[in-house]
Chains A and B, each alone.
Chain A
Amino acid sequence: MNTANSQQYEMTGRQQLVHRSLSEKSDSVALLYESSLRVLADNANPGRILQASHSIREMTGGLPKVLDLPILSEQGRLGDRVNALEPIWLGAAKSKCYNQGGWAGEIDGPLGKLLGALYNFFQWWKDSRPKRRDVVAGLFRSTDPSGQRLPETLEQKRVQRWLDLHDYFVRVAHGSSTTEDEFRSALDELEQILLENFHRRPSEDFSAIDALLAEDTPNA
């Protein structure tokens, strides 16, 4: 690392708060967050945004597991299912319908078997893989000390905010172009959400609500 060109790495007060809140849940998650900040601080690294996105993507994807919630993907089990399809696929390649890379003709035994296996696979995929929205909703519910569910209207807004950010970081990690301002804005919003959930200050929120309600009151 070219220390002359890198920014001195230092967390802001808010970032320290985020980091401490994440540490209380999981050291590994907090480490991912810290890693992303350190990489981002290295101006000499042309890939810092892409690399930081990787860490953040891992962090947002792994948070549910830290809280004993289903994670967004279960690649191991998926791999098993795909492996199970392979011999059926190889058998289907011997079908009379398969000729020089193309498919034509009446469905025979091997092809029928493949189609049936594919049907079952996608049924499983649909039924057993937790929906992303449900996972994220579960994340927010588990961190709400009240033990009660927000109305769906509000909950879905939160879920969408989170998913939008997660997808953004995934795209950037996969090479999608973005600007530094866009990245920092997304990171800022993510940190805000993390604080809202892991470092709650409802008394301040209540004061904000009081102020909003007073705006509408005559003579306010």
Chain B
Amino acid sequence: MPSAETVDNALREIGKGYAQYQYFFDRLNSPAWLKPLADRGFFQKPPEPIREGQYISFPIWPESRYLIRMARVPEVQNAVLDVALRIPTSENSRVHDDIADVGLALPPSLAAKLVPQISASIPLSVKLLLGEKVKDLIVHLATGAQGPAAIELTASALALTPDPRVDRREEESILSPEPQSHFRDWYYSRIVDAAVPEVVKCSGIEVVRLFCRLLNDAIRLSRKSEEEGDEDYLYIRHPAIEHGKDPDDIPSLLLCAVRDAAELLITADPSQLPAVITVLQEQKWVSFRRLELHIARLFPEQGWALAEQSFQQPDILSRASTRHEAVLLLKATFPTLTAERKQQILVWMDAGPSEEALRNWLAFIGEEVTEEKIRHLSNRGRLDHFSILEGQLPEPYQTRYEELKAQLGTPSPPDRVSYPRFGAISAESPKTAEELAELSVDDLLGFLKSWVPGHDVFAPTAEGLGGALTSVVRKRPSDFAAAAPKMEGLDPTYIRALFGSLTAALKQGERWDWGPVLELGKWVVAQGREIPDRKGGLMDADPDWGWSRTAIIDLLTTGFEGGQDRLPLDYRSSAWEVLQPLTDDPYPGVEDERGEKFDPSFLSINSTRGRALDAVIDYAWWLRRCTDAARKAKGQTPIDFDSMPEVRDVLNAHLEIEREPTLTIRSVYGRHLTSLASLDWNWVRAHVDAILPPGRDDQPLFSAAWESFIAFNEPNTVLLQALLPAFQRAVAQIGQAMGMMRHPGSPEDRLSEHLLIYYWLGSIEFGSVDGLIETFYATASDALRGHAMWFVGTSVSRWDDAAPAQVFDRLKTLMERRLDVASQAEKPDLFVKELANFGWWFTSEKFDERWSLETLLSILRLTKKAEGEMGVVKLLSERCPRYPVECVTCLRLMIEGDRERWLLLGVESDAIELLRSALNSNNPDAALSARRLAEELIARGHFGFRTLLA
């Protein structure tokens, strides 16, 4: 036992700071300190959780960790228990985990006394590892012959509470309530699996009783209040008692737990069967009847009496919820039943379902009630009943059974079960793809014309047939391409399938005669979009010609992308005759541009007219590519819109507001601006103001085109000059304009990237007339400026050695200017994100070593933050031998700014090496700074740094 003076000295040392306190308890392995510390008030005040905003953390309690270690020392186990029992209730989950660990370390007889305390912690809303520990503790108690404690803890762990939606009066809207457990499904399942076998061994029938009670609760809490009777519908999700459990379904889990507990108990002690049955019979739900039947079957020596009793009411063989178990039981026990019971069953089987029940059934499914149908169904029922006793039927029933089989065929196995299937369902076709493939093209087209589809999605539909058609066309694209005109007049669903298949085939390298396909295309576009009185939808049929039009665009675009090889230039006029009308498709209209989620760029690639305009530009490039080689050979320039006036006409037309008022189509121009400039620079220059209108009243049109442009185009110094007014407007509006684009990223972020690229290329400059870079830095938020810096740092890191030196010089100048501005600012914290992203510049290792280190140091003195901090620490560690003072100072400043205390996660060893370099350097200032920082880090809890000072 330590002396009082030693204890006082120790308390004085550990009172100097939390690190000392933690260190002491982490190192304390002597049980002799337990009483002195307990007498001085320790082990009584666990730390509370720390809540910061929406986050919560659970501090470790070094005192409880000591208790766990001492719980393994036999001499003090009683004392440890006394101390643990006096720990007050806390919301700190770690403390409860530790108390559970104390229980696991104590002998079961002592651990049992902790059960009430641990049970009280189970309802905590946030639990860390308690589920696993409770599981282990239950087993620990059970194997240690502490049955009542094991039962109590199991009951607490598996207790169920009502679905809170019921209290919130949402009961009407929920399909069925779900009982709530204290542990999530996975832990709940593990506790059940672990508890049942072990607790049964020591507690016997009490375990069965416990799980029956839990199952009763689960069923009761799964039902809406107005439901009555004994039906629990558990058979739907658990059709066979003997099958495995669904670990995500608590009632199923508990059903199997009752089963397993009963089986284990009776297997170990057959005399327990009557007691088990009695416990089951105390519960009203039909699932318990199923369990009785199951048990009776598994243990026939004693179960025959239950079978005899159960089949007094033979209709348990036809009730949906008991059928499976009853059938199995009857098959197994029929020979052992009394003659009277056998006869009763056979007579019941021979009678078949009641006429009243059959009439009701026919009415329910909407069929005409006739004597013939009643007779048929009755015989069907008799057949199914007799089949239960296949091989066991006495005469005359065997003969009747054979006659019924001859008449109606072999019945399904009576004990077969089916599980509900959930998942994707697809449209059904009247013929399989294999059956269609056997037809000639003409015969197949004939079938498409003649077959009348329904609209029941669970029956064959046009969509289903179209799906089957798709795979057939894929295998014979040229045959179907040649026959395309014969499809005129067919349902649009089939025509879409054709075009879709041809597109896929084209991409796979297939080739065919485009003429007939384009002829069909012309016919399709001539139909317009809408089909009067047409009904369609998903898995049914196309609602109009819209999807076919899109499929045609896909086909044409695929052809254009592949050049002459895919779509020969000979088909220029035919292709245009198909494409041009699609540029006037009514979708999208202005009514499609309403709503908060409207994004012009997104809609442009998901609407017919938008995609048609895209295809027009693809068409132009197709023409260019098809003619480039020949023109180049003659020394001619590539063609422009003068050689494709049809393209120019469409593009001009859709810039007229009266004709094209949508923002969606305007965004197409923005998205393709660089592409258009490459096709016809003069046209773009002449239409810049139309595409990006300068007027204030045209802000929506400007934004639609601008956001697409800036998001989808790379910087282009030639285009910059033509778009200078637009850039100036966009930069001036930073933070003000309501952006419409939702994807892929912020247009303002992209704008910042463009500007920085123009800056480092020398296209724009501080002090230049355009004023772009100054305006950007005057209007951009700290976050946006930070993004710009991040972009530079990460871009530079990917450059090779060919990058010109003047680019680096320009970037250094930029950084120095910004640092100067921040240093002189009244509120330097408005520059934190901007400057912190210099961390990426630093770790790129592309800038002069000394310059980047000195700049980093200046920034850290201002902000104490560096992004990419792990990489920064690693690099500082590498450079410390050459620059010990600077590197230690940088690390110290980063530590001071690390409020979340995440900095050293993953780089502690690098930080240790950094300080070691400084300690071992010949620089006394560096060594002193390193020593002080090491002490600071130890005081923060990073005990690994102590190795530096040993």
Q: What is the bound-complex CA distance between A130 and B699, given in angstroms?
A: 56
In the complex, chain A residues whose CB is within 8 Å of the CB of B10: 209, 212-213
Main secondary structure of the interface of A (DSSP, over half): helix
A117-138 CB contact bits vs B (8 Å, 1 = yes)? 0000000000000000000000
A58 close to chain B: CB less than 8 A: no
In the complex, chain A residues whose CB is within 8 Å of the CB of B63: 151
Question: Is A205 in contact with B20, judged by CB distance below 8 angstroms?
Answer: yes
Q: What is the bound-complex CA distance between A200 and B15, given in angstroms?
A: 12
Question: Is A216 in contact with B33, judged by CB distance below 8 angstroms?
Answer: yes
Say which one of B221-229, B729-737, B935-943 lies at the interface with A: B935-943
Q: What is the bound-complex CA distance between A145 and B21, given in angstroms?
A: 13
Question: Is A149 in contact with B18, judged by CB distance below 8 angstroms?
Answer: yes
In the complex, chain A residues whose CB is within 8 Å of the CB of B943: 206
Q: What is the bound-complex CA distance between A205 and B14, given in angstroms?
A: 8
Question: Is B901 in contact with A157, judged by CB distance below 8 angstroms?
Answer: no
Question: Is A200 in contact with B47, judged by CB distance below 8 angstroms?
Answer: no
Question: Is A205 in contact with B13, judged by CB distance below 8 angstroms?
Answer: yes
Question: Is A203 in contact with B938, judged by CB distance below 8 angstroms?
Answer: yes
Q: Given the interface contacts A150-B21, A157-B11, does A210 sit within 8 Å of B27 by beta carbon? A: yes
Could you write out 15 A-B pairs with CB less than 8 Å apart?
A: A144-B17, A148-B59, A148-B941, A149-B47, A150-B17, A151-B21, A200-B939, A203-B938, A205-B23, A212-B10, A213-B10, A213-B27, A216-B6, A216-B32, A217-B30
B3-46 CB contact bits vs A (8 Å, 1 = yes)? 00010011101111111111110011010110000001110010
Q: Given the interface contacts A146-B940, A196-B16, A216-B30, does A203 sit within 8 Å of B42 by beta carbon? A: no
Q: In chain A between 187 and 220, which residues have their CB closer than 8 angstroms to a CB of chain B?
A: 196, 200-203, 205-206, 208-210, 212-213, 215-217
Q: What is the bound-complex CA distance between A157 and B943, given in angstroms?
A: 25
Question: Is B946 in contact with A145, judged by CB distance below 8 angstroms?
Answer: no
In the complex, chain A residues whose CB is within 8 Å of the CB of B950: 203
Question: Is A201 in contact with B21, judged by CB distance below 8 angstroms?
Answer: no
In the complex, chain B residues whose CB is within 8 Å of the CB of A196: 16-17
A153 close to chain B: CB less than 8 A: yes
B923-949 CB contact bits vs A (8 Å, 1 = yes)? 000000000001110111101001001
Give the nearest-CB partner of B10 in chain A.
A212
Q: Given the interface contacts A203-B946, A205-B13, does A150 sit within 8 Å of B18 by beta carbon? A: yes
A104 close to chain B: CB less than 8 A: no
Question: Is A154 in contact with B45, judged by CB distance below 8 angstroms?
Answer: no
Question: Is B41 in contact with A153, judged by CB distance below 8 angstroms?
Answer: yes
Q: What is the bound-complex CA distance between A153 and B15, given in angstroms?
A: 9
Q: What is the bound-complex CA distance between A215 and B32, given in angstroms?
A: 12
Chain A residues within 8 Å of B, Cβ to Cβ: 144-155, 157-158, 196, 200-203, 205-206, 208-210, 212-213, 215-217
Interface centre among B16, B21, B33, B42 (most CB of A within 10 A): B16
Question: Is B28 in contact with A146, judged by CB distance below 8 angstroms?
Answer: no
Since A154-B15, A209-B13 are in contact, a sample of 5 more A-B pairs with Cβ atoms closer than 8 Å, ordered by chain A residue number, is A145-B17, A155-B15, A206-B23, A212-B10, A216-B33
In the complex, chain A residues whose CB is within 8 Å of the CB of B11: 154, 157
Q: Given the interface contacts A146-B941, A200-B939, does A209 sit within 8 Å of B30 by beta carbon? A: no
Question: Is B21 in contact with A200, judged by CB distance below 8 angstroms?
Answer: no
Q: What is the bound-complex CA distance between A162 and B901, given in angstroms?
A: 29
In the complex, chain A residues whose CB is within 8 Å of the CB of B940: 145-147
B2 close to chain A: CB less than 8 A: yes
In the complex, chain B residues whose CB is within 8 Å of the CB of A212: 2, 6, 9-10, 13
Interface centre among A147, A148, A149 (most CB of B within 10 A): A148
In the complex, chain B residues whose CB is within 8 Å of the CB of A200: 16-17, 935-936, 939
Give the nearest-CB partner of B61 in chain A.
A151
A205 to chain B, nearest CB (A): 5
Interface centre among A144, A151, A196, A212 (most CB of B within 10 A): A151
Q: Given the interface contacts A212-B6, A216-B6, does A202 sit within 8 Å of B17 by beta carbon? A: yes
Contact for A153 among B2, B19, B40, B59, CB less than 8 A: B40
In the complex, chain A residues whose CB is within 8 Å of the CB of B41: 152-153
Question: Is B17 in contact with A146, judged by CB distance below 8 angstroms?
Answer: yes
Q: Given the interface contacts A200-B939, A217-B30, does A157 sit within 8 Å of B20 by beta carbon? A: no
Question: Is A202 in contact with B938, judged by CB distance below 8 angstroms?
Answer: yes
Chain B residues within 8 Å of A, Cβ to Cβ: 1-2, 6, 9-11, 13-24, 27-28, 30, 32-33, 40-42, 45, 47, 59, 63, 901, 934-936, 938-941, 943, 946, 949-950
For the complex of A and B, list the 7 residue pairs with the smallest distance between their C-beta atoms, beginning with the closest: A146-B18, A153-B41, A145-B939, A154-B15, A203-B949, A148-B18, A202-B938
Interface centre among A145, A206, A213, A215 (most CB of B within 10 A): A145
In the complex, chain A residues whose CB is within 8 Å of the CB of B24: 209, 213
In the complex, chain B residues whose CB is within 8 Å of the CB of A154: 11, 14-15, 21
Q: What is the bound-complex CA distance between A151 and B64, given in angstroms?
A: 13
Q: What is the bound-complex CA distance between A145 and B19, given in angstroms?
A: 9
In the complex, chain B residues whose CB is within 8 Å of the CB of A150: 15, 17-18, 21
Question: Is A144 in contact with B18, judged by CB distance below 8 angstroms?
Answer: yes
Q: What is the bound-complex CA distance between A196 and B13, given in angstroms?
A: 10
Give the nearest-CB partner of A217 in chain B.
B30
Q: What is the bound-complex CA distance between A149 and B18, given in angstroms?
A: 7
B128 to chain A, nearest CB (A): 18
Contact for B27 among A151, A152, A158, A209, CB less than 8 A: A209
Q: What is the bound-complex CA distance between A150 and B934, given in angstroms?
A: 21
B322 to chain A, nearest CB (A): 61
In the complex, chain A residues whose CB is within 8 Å of the CB of B9: 208, 212
Q: What is the bound-complex CA distance between A217 and B6, given in angstroms?
A: 12
Q: What is the bound-complex CA distance between A180 and B27, given in angstroms?
A: 41
Q: What is the bound-complex CA distance between A196 and B12, given in angstroms?
A: 11
A197 to chain B, nearest CB (A): 8
Contact for B20 among A155, A209, A213, A215, CB less than 8 A: A209
In the complex, chain A residues whose CB is within 8 Å of the CB of B28: 213
In the complex, chain B residues whose CB is within 8 Å of the CB of A201: 935
Q: Given the interface contacts A144-B17, A203-B935, does A151 sit within 8 Å of B30 by beta carbon? A: no
Q: What is the bound-complex CA distance between A72 and B54, given in angstroms?
A: 33
Q: What is the bound-complex CA distance between A81 and B901, given in angstroms?
A: 43
In the complex, chain B residues whose CB is within 8 Å of the CB of A158: 15
B51 to chain A, nearest CB (A): 14
In the complex, chain B residues whose CB is within 8 Å of the CB of A213: 10, 24, 27-28, 30
A83 to chain B, nearest CB (A): 36
Question: Is B14 in contact with A209, judged by CB distance below 8 angstroms?
Answer: yes
Q: What is the bound-complex CA distance between A197 and B941, given in angstroms?
A: 16
Q: What is the bound-complex CA distance between A209 and B30, given in angstroms?
A: 13
Q: What is the bound-complex CA distance between A153 and B23, given in angstroms?
A: 17
In the complex, chain A residues whose CB is within 8 Å of the CB of B1: 216
Question: Is A153 in contact with B45, judged by CB distance below 8 angstroms?
Answer: yes
Question: Is B42 in contact with A153, judged by CB distance below 8 angstroms?
Answer: yes
Question: Is B901 in contact with A147, judged by CB distance below 8 angstroms?
Answer: yes
Interface centre among A152, A153, A154, A196 (most CB of B within 10 A): A154
Q: What is the bound-complex CA distance between A153 and B10, given in angstroms?
A: 13
B149 to chain A, nearest CB (A): 31
Q: Given the interface contacts A209-B27, A213-B28, does A146 sit within 8 Å of B45 by beta carbon? A: no
A141 to chain B, nearest CB (A): 9
Q: What is the bound-complex CA distance between A125 and B618, given in angstroms?
A: 80
Q: What is the bound-complex CA distance between A36 and B13, given in angstroms?
A: 28
Question: Is B19 in contact with A146, judged by CB distance below 8 angstroms?
Answer: yes
Q: What is the bound-complex CA distance between A134 and B949, given in angstroms?
A: 35
In the complex, chain A residues whose CB is within 8 Å of the CB of B6: 212, 215-216
B270 to chain A, nearest CB (A): 57
Give the nearest-CB partner of B940 in chain A.
A145
Q: What is the bound-complex CA distance between A146 and B943, given in angstroms?
A: 11
Q: What is the bound-complex CA distance between A201 and B937, given in angstroms?
A: 10
Question: Is A145 in contact with B30, judged by CB distance below 8 angstroms?
Answer: no
In the complex, chain A residues whose CB is within 8 Å of the CB of B42: 151, 153
